[in-house]
């Protein structure tokens, strides 16, 4: 199991992170597809999602954008463990 930490808004100041654990190749937080190579946005976001694109290269529609962000939030809330700079809450 590998641990990943995703900072909440203002994490640098508040110290609050969601910690997620995955075996092997982790799924993208936005689209759920495996992230074979990390994007600029980290190891849990695939390259296309980092750019707001689908895997076929088309731009997200407004609806897709909403769905991806909903998926992101859902994964953090259901699989993430809220931590504060190393201490468990």
Contacts to Zn ion by CB under 5 A = 28, 30-31, 46, 49
CB of 39 to Zn ion, least distance (A): 8
CB of 84 to Zn ion, least distance (A): 27
- Cβ proximity to Zn ion: between 16 and 64 the closer is 64
Place of tokens 């100041």: 13
The Cβ of residue 49 has, within 10 Å, a number of other Cβ atoms equal to 24
Q: Using alpha carbons, list the distances in angstroms from residue 85 to 13, 14, 19, 45, 73.
A: 11, 9, 10, 22, 20
- Cβ proximity to Zn ion: between 33 and 85 the closer is 33
- Cβ proximity to Zn ion: between 15 and 27 the closer is 27
CB of 49 to Zn ion, least distance (A): 3
Place of tokens 């190891």: 43
């Amino acid at each position: 199991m590998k641990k990943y930490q995703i900072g909440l808004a203002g994490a640098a100041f508040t110290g609050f992170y969601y910690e997620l654990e995955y075996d092997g190749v982790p799924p993208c937080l936005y689209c759920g597809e495996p992230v074979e190579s990390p994007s600029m946005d980290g190891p849990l976001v695939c390259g296309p999602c980092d750019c707001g694109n689908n895997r076929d290269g088309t731009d997200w529609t407004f609806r897709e954008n909403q769905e991806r962000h909903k998926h992101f939030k859902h994964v953090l809330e259901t699989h993430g463990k809220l931590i504060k700079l190393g201490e468990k809450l």
